Amino acid sequence: MTTQPPRRRAVQARSRETVERILNAASELIAERGADGATMTEIAQRAGVAMGSLYQYFPDKAGVMAALFERHAALVREMLAAATAGAKRLDDLIARIGAVAQAYFDLHRDDPVVRSLWAAVQTDPDLQALDVADSLANARMLFDVARPLYARVDETRLMAACTICMHLAATAARLALAIPAPLGAATPEVFSGMVSGYFLALAEREAGGEKKAAPESAASS
């Protein structure tokens, strides 16, 4: 499935309202039936828009899924920013990362639309690209908070740690739902422990090393 860009940008307030109605309708149908059970015709009917209006904004269901993914990603970035803002000590930052990981688990457990989106990511290369871009954007946010606390740590390694942390939080959350319930219930604590262990080890191992500049690709990703 190839994700095409929206045919029309929602600039005016009325257009933005129409797009929100379409995305809300798609979310409701996906929550009820899963992504495969929601057709463009049903999305239009649930949103109360004509098929022609729907296709003005989204050329196909892949475009709807991409827009839902981006809306979900924006909410996660807000959650991440709120959770990590103001961290001044390493132990405080690690605790906040653990809280973010738990929030990922709760989100995947409680929201069927999120689960359907991530299931679609597994088979759609375009959504996979959005997923990677989202992980890098979240990692940059975490890096910006962590950088002052790791003054002598190699920036590329720190950015890699932030990227892996952000990307694997969602992966581990999906895994927790797929494995036997007792294992899934233990997964958030185990994941948080693994992440905190690496961030602590990174500080201890490289605290005496010379600070290195981040390559442009890492700093700007």
pLDDT for 1 equals 45
Distance CA 109, CA 88 (A): 31
Q: Which of 200, 202, 171, 201 is nearest to 188 (CA)?
A: 171
Asked if 173 contacts 103 with a C-beta cutoff of 8 angstroms, the reply is: no
pLDDT for 13 equals 67
DSSP for 66-123, written as a single string: HHHHHHHHHHHHHHHHHHHTT--SHHHHHHHHHHHHHHHHHHHHH-HHHHHHHHHHTT
Owner of token pair 């045919």: 7
pLDDT for 66 equals 94
Four-residue CA torsion sign, 7, 120, 98, 207: negative
Instruction: Quote the distance between the C-alpha of residue 185 and its chain's center.
Output: 21
Average pLDDT over residues 197-216: 66
Alpha-carbon radius of gyration of the chain = 20
pTM: 0.81
Distance CA 167, CA 174 (A): 12
Q: Report pLDDT digits (tens) over 116-140.
A: 998 888 889 999 999 999 999 999 9
Question: Which of 68-101 are b and which e, b meaning 16 or more Cβ less than 10 Å from the residue's Cβ?
Answer: bbebbbeebeebbeebbeebeebeebbebbbebb
Owner of token pair 């990511």: 121
Average pLDDT over residues 178-196: 92
Sequence-distant contacts of 177-182: CB under 8 A, at least 24 apart: 177/108, 177/109, 177/115
pLDDT for 15 equals 86
Is residue 170 over pLDDT 80?
yes
pLDDT for 99 equals 87
Residue that wins the pLDDT comparison between 205 and 113: 113
Distance CA 45, CA 25 (A): 9
Q: Which of 218, 103, 98 is nearest to 157 (CA)?
A: 218
Residue that wins the pLDDT comparison between 39 and 170: 39
Q: Which of 34, 64, 62, 35 is nearest to 49 (CA)?
A: 64
